[in-house]
Amino acid sequence: MSRSPIERQIESSPIDGKIVFKIKGLTKVYGMGEIMVHALRGVDLDFYSSELVVLLGPSGSGKSTLLNILGGLDTATSGQVTYRERDLTRANEHDLTEYRRFHVGFVFQFYNLIPSLTALENVAVVTEIATHPMKPEDALKIVGLGERLHHFPAQLSGGEQQRVAIARAIAKNPEVLLCDEPTGALDLATGVVVLEALERVNRELGTTTVIITHNSGIADMADRVVHLSNGLISEVVQHTVKKRPGELQW
């Protein structure tokens, strides 16, 4: 049974203290040609239920690697990441697929929609394999695309495509939403619309949301901002007052 957005909002108010991800001594080393790159050098960090976290840092700081490991797309060299009680660093391919399928929603910089499917079908791709999905139409309404259900990606603007991607990510009612540079390919006005959609999802559905960006302007909408630099956490800023996406500037 899928719960209504309102029920979930009551059940878990923002930052209720429940740990979603627990990261301990996370290290990632990979080879690029003959050079070994230390993407993460022993990161310790927790993510809490329903919070909106922005991972901020320049390119090469390790933020994407961190997000990929959180999303079950990459494996750690050492250290541990647990999602709820699940040890992601020890999960096999099958477990990771299942984890992505039922617990995580992804939003990518380049949208990654299926070009041969309409907006509605792109969302249905996920709801078809989920256990407690919302209706694809409802997901698209949340991101303000209730009127563009039957358009193909090629018929939508960049912002609209990204909002379809968000609808696709939230339609399975995931526990966490991982967004990799969601506004990277968009102009300010369009970017704001997309961020508003993310903010609304976080606020109304209480989905733990992690956004990575190198754009510090976005940080002001977060509950918490984690600065990464050279594979290490350099600073964590807790916001008591969050800006609305409309008020952001970059």
Partner 1 sequence: MKGQVFAIVLIIVSGVATYVMLISTMNSLNQTRDRFYLEYGFAEVFASLKRAPEDLKTQISKIPGVEHVETRVVADVKLDIPGFDEPVTGRLVSVPDHGKPLLNKLHIRKGRSVEPLREDEVVVSETFAEAHKMSLGDRFGAVINGRWKTLVVVGTALSPEFVLQVRPGAISPDFKRYAVLWMGREALGTAYDMKGAFNDVLLTLSPAAKTSEVLIQLDGLLARYGGLGSYERKDQMSHRFLTEEFRQLERSSKVFPLIFVAVAVFLLNVVINRTIQIQREQIAILKAFGYSHLDIGFHYFQMVLLVVLFGVAGGIGVGVWFGKGLGNIYMEFYRFPYLIYELEWNVVMTAVLINLGSALLGTFHSLRKASMLPPAEAMRPEPPARYRKTIIEHLRLWHLLSQPARIIFRNIERRPIKSCLSIAGIALACAILIAAIFWKDAVDFMVEVQFKLSQKEDLAVTFVEPTSRKAIYELNGLKGVQYAEPYRSVPAKFRFEHRSYRTVIRGIESGSRLHSLLNTDLKPVELPPEGIVLTDYLGTLLGIQPGDQLTIEVLEGARPVRQVPVVGLINQYIGVMGYMDMNALNVLMREDSAISGANLMVDPLHQTDLYKKLIQMPRVVGAVVREDEIRNFYETQAEAFLFFTFIATLLAGTIAFGVVYNSARITLSERSRELASLRVLGYTRAEISYILLGELGLFTLVAIPLGLVGGRVICTYLAATMGSDLFRIPVVVYPATYSLAATVVVVSAFLSSLIVRHRLDHLDLVAVLKTKE
Q: Which residues bind partner 1 (CB under 8 A)?
A: 64, 68, 71, 73-74, 94, 97-98, 100-102, 104, 106, 108-110, 112-117, 121, 124-126, 128-129, 152-154, 168, 180, 185
DSSP letter for 2, please.
Answer: P
In the complex, least distance from residue 164 CB atom to partner 1, rounded to whole angstroms: 12
**Order of all β-strands in the sheet with 224-229:** 104-107, 176-180, 208-213, 52-56, 224-229, 232-238
User: At 44, is the secondary structure helix, strand, or coil?
Assistant: strand
Least distance between partner 1 and beta carbon 87 (Å): 19
194 contact partners, CB below 8 Å, separation of at least 6: 159, 162, 163, 166, 182, 183, 186
Report the C-alpha gap between 237 and 28 in whole angstroms.
24
Nearer to partner 1, 126 or 248 (CB): 126
Nearest distance in Å: CB 168, partner 1: 7
- Measured from the CB of residue 57, what is the shortest distance to partner 1 in angstroms? 16
CB of 66 to partner 1, least distance (A): 12
Interhelix angle 158-170/119-127, nearest 10 degrees? 20
Return the bridge partners of 103, or none.
none
State which residue, 94 or 241, has the beta carbon closest to partner 1.
94
| Residue closer to partner 1, measured from CB, 100 or 203 | 100
Residue with tokens 């399928």: 101
From the DSSP assignment, how many helices (H) and strands (E) are in the chain?
7, 10
Q: Which of 48, 53, 30 is nearest to 40 (CA)?
A: 30
Distance in angstroms (rounded) separating the CA atoms of residues 142 and 173: 12
181 or 196: CB nearest partner 1: 181
Give the residue with the Cβ less far from partner 1, 19 or 114: 114
Question: Is 20 or 225 the residue whose CB approaches partner 1 more closely?
Answer: 20
We find the least distance from the C-beta atom of residue 155 to partner 1, in angstroms, to be 8
